[in-house]
Copies of this chain bind each other. A is one copy, B any other.
């Protein structure tokens, strides 16, 4: 069944020291409900995507916490799937609607990460991977993805400058997005000369530590509200898991979960991959965007980096990718990211993306990953009655 996106709202992404997690959640929620031309009281349930609140602030039980702030006494659940928590919350919210239980649900992805030191957050993030195997042996997320980058570079002769092209493109997109954490361009030279984090990944190959929230109002039917938004629907989705530990994979540079998820989502949507006009993919590191684009099937293996360098995935290219700026430059508040990806697609499909508007965008795809590809969630969105 199709689910309608009635409203969207997000905070600025960045280092937001003056706002608490619940402040951010409220801000995004209120914006989304306003965008939907509704009142908070019209909501039936809340699904919160969040990974790290327990570790960062000692606060669990975010469903009830956020419901209290919104003055709602309705079912409220927290959903966690590491960096895929946001898209997982959307996936659960859609099930709640499809089950007949709820008519309208609020999805909130939220993360407050800058209250810890960078080292502490990096350790906490290893909770997304096999902590007792990878974490305790000193691996960080940058080094997990560096292993993938090394394997990819060796197999396909990729150079560091090919990876850097992803960062340059996503920073260019972010420069057109006022809510992005890093709304400025970088050059290939800047990326290549930035400090090494985990060979071959440099700091400008990595997504940042970010605070932020993003919210959606989903509905079973489109409401005929005067002045309501241009209708956008979720026409297909899928969530698939793969091994948590990288060592248990047969192939480091193929995302098995992504491959399966996109096939299922396309089947549900009843469309072909070629019909997708633009995509938001999980570029937690530059190499992640390359592998994601190939695992999704947009490019043949070994070719996505070169296509990126040629501009094919830029705003004006044949398949614009991460027009929001991606995790790389829009920022990566982990629980919010999957929801923000969907918001970017909605803006594009409605024609409300301002300076970064993709022309004639009708169908978009979002891919959100948890861990090193251990959870993959794909959503496909379509603008209705394309006028």
A residues with a Cβ closer than 8 A to B are 20, 51-55, 57-65, 67-68, 72-82, 88, 91-92, 94-101, 123-124, 126-132, 135, 238-245, 248, 256-257, 260, 370-371, 374-375
Contact = CB atoms under 8 A, between A and B. Distances in A.
Copies of this chain: 2
Nearest to A373: B64
23 contacts: A52-B60, A54-B127, A55-B55, A57-B131, A58-B131, A59-B131, A59-B132, A60-B80, A61-B80, A61-B127, A64-B242, A64-B370, A64-B375, A65-B244, A68-B241, A68-B248, A72-B241, A73-B257, A75-B91, A75-B238, A77-B79, A98-B101, A99-B99
B57 A54 contact: no
A373 to B, nearest CB: 10
Contact of A101 (B73, B95, B370): B95
B73 A260 contact: yes
Contacts of A244: 61, 64-65, 68
Contact of A59 (B20, B127, B257): B127
Nearest to A80: B78
Contacts of A127: 53-54, 58-61
Contacts of A98: 98-101
Contacts of A239: 75, 77
Given A55-B55, A58-B135, A80-B60, A243 B101 contact: no
Nearest to A132: B59
Contact of A96 (B74, B82, B95): B95
